[in-house]
């Protein structure tokens, strides 16, 4: 059976299962089973059990539920209210005013959450009513929130980077550090767009903010201290080489619990609700990863990844052409699958290609995350669009149109990464070596 027939069988099985509403993880297992039994002609039982157990028992994977739990705890505290009170005095005088709180707030919360949805929901609940009350342009408020919330996928602790690292067996800590500067650059690009729009748009005429003295600004800034300390604890411990990603995640959970207790928002109900929320999300991602691991094994037996890699190699594409093809591929795939599913579903095929082309796998992880970020605001199933639709009651078309400038800025970010790869590779290269995995 040639590779094109195998691809047709894999895709037909996948879309059939997804079309019937089968969970993504189970759909991946189903596709892998078909590949093992009917394409590779091998027994699948023992291989499936061994592969799924090996993936599920990975020590590196323990960072995932811990970071999710940290985000769940903070989501149920007064963190968002405190962030707005601390940020707004400093943002008010910038060109674009308090719209910048959407972007900076998302960047700050992304650094303690790791989830795009949690970032969007938390910051949106805080900023949308305040910005509407001050009559900021609705499309700018919604667009910046949709785009900036995707920073939760890049700025560590990023769940997508954890999944990518586990899938290709690379250092989570290096991936986290690789995401810091690109996340900040992307946030600055969003802020630059807001500043320019505020100057050229005739609809930008919000209520002016009262003038505050430097002393008053510094006084309000005290509300940012807890979250800054938590960010320093999590990211600083990894950069200093004193903690792996898993250990940093444990520090983050303890720090989040202390922060919630200090805010007097830690109750038994908060604790159990956050724990169950983290358990549900972690179980969903673990099932997807287990299915993807079995699918990778199945595709390896069929020889499909190597055949496709050889086919791409025979096309004699330059590195730039290959990256552009993969960018379009991930944008299209992101129209139909969530980010984590897109990553785990494709790595068995894409990883041999990028290694053959000599592309740094740490850098490529950031490249993939930017592409996945685009998928979060791309119809028809861009997840951030659905969350915003529920929060604002606007139509999907209006929200997608508002988010389009953010999409184009992410395209610019891709080219910046290609032209200046040091944006993603410099921090990991300076990381102090330390024992331990993750």
pLDDT in tens, 186-197: 999 999 999 999
Higher pLDDT, 88 or 366: 366
pLDDT confidence of 236, banded at 50, 70, 90?
Answer: confident
The answer as to whether 436 is a domain residue is: no
H or E element in which residue 302 lies: helix 268-302
∠ CA 267-269-274, nearest 5°, is: 100
Residue 309's pLDDT is 61
The answer as to whether 130 is a domain residue is: yes
Residue 128's pLDDT is 85
Residue 407's pLDDT is 92
Asked if 249 contacts 67 with a C-beta cutoff of 8 angstroms, the reply is yes
* Per-residue CA distances from 401 to 80, 226, 303, 325, 413 (Å): 27, 36, 42, 25, 19
Tokens 């149920």 found at: 76
Whether the pLDDT of residue 40 is over 70: the answer is no
The answer as to whether 18 is a domain residue is: yes
- Average pLDDT of the segment spanning 170-179: 88
pTM: 0.76
Residue 367's pLDDT is 94
Q: What contacts 292, CB < 8 A, 6 or more positions away? A: 28, 167, 344, 345, 347, 348
Residue 22's pLDDT is 79
The answer as to whether 438 is a domain residue is: no
135, two tokens? 């009559």
Query: For a pLDDT cut of 70, what percent of the chain falls above it?
Result: 88
3-state DSSP call for residue 169?
coil
pLDDT confidence of 2, banded at 50, 70, 90?
Answer: low
379, two tokens? 């119809």
- Average pLDDT of the segment spanning 333-351: 75
Model pLDDT for residues 50-71, shown as the tens digit of each residue: 777 777 776 667 777 887 788 7
The answer as to whether 437 is a domain residue is: no
Mean pLDDT score of the chain:
81
Could you give the number of structural domains in the chain?
A: 1
Whether the pLDDT of residue 308 is over 50: the answer is yes
Whether the pLDDT of residue 8 is over 80: the answer is no
Model pLDDT for residues 123-171, shown as the tens digit of each residue: 887 788 888 888 899 999 999 999 998 887 888 888 888 889 888 888 8
Model pLDDT for residues 11-38, shown as the tens digit of each residue: 788 778 877 777 777 887 888 888 777 7
d(CA 344, CA 283): 15
Q: Which residues of 153-168 are buried (b: 16+ CB within 10 A; e: fewer)?
A: bbbbbbbbbbbbbbbb
Whether the pLDDT of residue 342 is over 50: the answer is yes
The answer as to whether 418 is a domain residue is: yes
- Average pLDDT of the segment spanning 219-247: 80
Alpha carbon 83 to its chain centroid, in Å, reads 21
Residue 405's pLDDT is 94
Nearest to 107, CA basis, from 208, 186, 170:
186
Query: The domain containing residue 7 runs over which residues?
Result: 3-203+212-430
The answer as to whether 435 is a domain residue is: no
The answer as to whether 43 is a domain residue is: yes
């Amino acid at each position: 059976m040639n590779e094109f027939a195998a691809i047709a069988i894999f895709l037909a099985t996948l879309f059939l299962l997804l079309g019937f509403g089968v969970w993504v993880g189970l759909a991946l297992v189903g596709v892998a089973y078909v590949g093992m039994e009917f394409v590779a002609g091998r027994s699948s039982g023992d291989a499936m059990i061994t592969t799924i157990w090996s993936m599920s028992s990975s020590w590196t994977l323990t960072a995932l539920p811990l970071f999710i739990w940290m985000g769940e705890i903070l989501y149920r505290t007064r963190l968002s209210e405190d962030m707005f009170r601390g940020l707004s005095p400093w943002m008010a005088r910038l060109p674009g005013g308090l719209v910048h709180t959407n972007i900076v707030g998302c960047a700050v919360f992304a650094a303690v959450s790791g989830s795009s949805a949690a970032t969007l929901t938390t910051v949106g609940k805080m900023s949308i009513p305040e910005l509407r009350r001050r009559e900021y342009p609705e499309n700018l408020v919604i667009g910046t929130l949709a785009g900036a919330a995707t920073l939760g996928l890049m700025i560590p602790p990023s769940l997508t980077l954890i999944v990518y690292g586990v899938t290709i067996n690379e250092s989570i800590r290096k991936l986290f550090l690789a995401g810091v500067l690109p996340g900040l650059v992307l946030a600055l690009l969003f802020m630059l767009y807001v500043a320019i729009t505020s100057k050229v748009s005739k609809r930008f005429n919000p209520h002016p903010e009262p003038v505050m003295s430097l002393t008053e600004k510094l006084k309000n800034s005290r509300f940012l201290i807890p979250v800054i300390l938590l960010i320093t604890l999590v990211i600083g411990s990894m950069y200093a080489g004193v903690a792996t990603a898993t250990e940093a995640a444990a520090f983050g959970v303890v720090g989040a619990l202390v922060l919630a207790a200090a805010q007097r928002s830690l109750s038994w109900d908060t604790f159990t609700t956050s724990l169950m929320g983290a358990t549900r999300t972690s179980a969903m991602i673990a099932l997807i990863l287990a299915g993807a691991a079995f699918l990778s094994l199945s595709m390896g037996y069929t020889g499909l990844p190597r055949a496709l890699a050889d086919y791409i190699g025979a096309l004699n594409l330059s590195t730039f052409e290959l990256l552009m093809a993969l960018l379009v591929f991930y944008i299209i795939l992101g129209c139909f699958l969530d980010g984590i599913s897109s990553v785990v579903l494709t790595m068995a095929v894409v990883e041999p290609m990028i290694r053959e082309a000599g592309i740094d796998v740490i850098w490529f992880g950031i490249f993939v995350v930017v592409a996945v970020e685009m998928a979060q605001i791309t119809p028809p199933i861009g997840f951030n669009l659905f969350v915003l639709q529920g929060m604002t009651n606007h139509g999907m078309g209006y929200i997608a149109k508002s988010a389009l400038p953010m999409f184009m800025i992410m395209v610019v970010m891709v080219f910046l990464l290609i032209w200046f790869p040091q944006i993603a590779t410099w921090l990991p290269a300076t990381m102090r070596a330390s024992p331990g995995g993750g």
